[in-house]
Structure 1
């Protein structure tokens, strides 16, 4: 059973950040925490129990039963129009966009309606190639440039949407 906390008791109209935390690098989590605190924005890290930590702050972390797409479904069921989803999952980003939710990759790229179909097509092609054994491994290791790009782009987003200009 998943533990549902502050997400379900949402009372403000403020933007919230939902983070697909299963594959979110520690450095990116730290940037999110720092900027969310600076703009007084609530961030909700969502991960499977496979990533459970006793040190996780229960106000900001929700752990979900293991299961295919369980974290994605939790996020999609709790986001509201104008929120931001941070994920490496292009499929989740696509579904979030269709709900009027903004979406960023953990490398700082903003997913947009006008380019999400292209991203989904490339994802499909890479999956086909991986099945043929042509590509292996996961995403490239995050770089300092990726972290900087993410930080700058998240900061710009929060300036626009948190009202702190």
Structure 2
């Protein structure tokens, strides 16, 4: 298993939580961004820098991640593409993207973007504080434990 992070918009608090947990559990962690991020020195943490082209980091993650990996992103179109590949995808607020909810979230995102472009609607910025960090941490830990358990079961059963 690899944990992938769409690093361009990932809050530092989330990076700290994920870095610590992945190093402690000896899980590969791979950041993808189009600018360097300050990351701790660990053999479990790697980073790929992509071009400044639109969606270059997203395309890299789609091409290189595989089922059994966990991806963290705020990008709903990226989440949609990954869910179609049967990936586990969550955002930095502790929300899982699933085949049951990602289409609705994509539609809501597109509608809100259209409203903002028309000068109607709320600002994009929402508060990100202790409540959101706690929700992320809980969801991340729960999914990581579940995925590690499934991975151990598959290995014991002799499958991928």
Aligned residues: 148
Gaps of 5+ in 2: 153-160
Map of 1:85-104 to 2, 5 A cutoff? Answer: 85-104=71-90
Aligned to 2:126: 140
SS state at 1:66 partner: coil
1:47–1:64 Cα contact (<8 Å) kept = yes
Structure showing greater relative contact order (alpha-carbon pairs closer than 8 Å, 6 or more residues apart): 1
1:82 aligns with 2:68: yes
Q: Which moved more, 1:62-71 or 1:131-140?
A: 131-140
1:97–1:112 Cα contact (<8 Å) kept = yes
Aligned to 1:161: 147
Partners of 1:25 and 1:37 lie apart in 2 by 18
2:116–2:123 Cα contact (<8 Å) kept = no
Aligned to 1:128: 114
Give the one of 93, 114, 121 matched to 2:100. 114
Q: Which moved more, 1:87-96 or 1:38-47?
A: 38-47
Question: TM-score of the superposition, structure 1-length normalised?
Answer: 0.83
Indicate the RMSD between aligned Cα atoms, in angstroms: 1.9
Give CA-to-partner distance per residue, 1:104-132, whole Å, 9 cap, x none. Answer: 01111011110111101101111110110
Question: TM-score of the superposition, structure 2-length normalised?
Answer: 0.85
In structure 2, the CA distance between the partners of 1:116 and 1:53, relative to structure 1 (3 Å rule), is closer
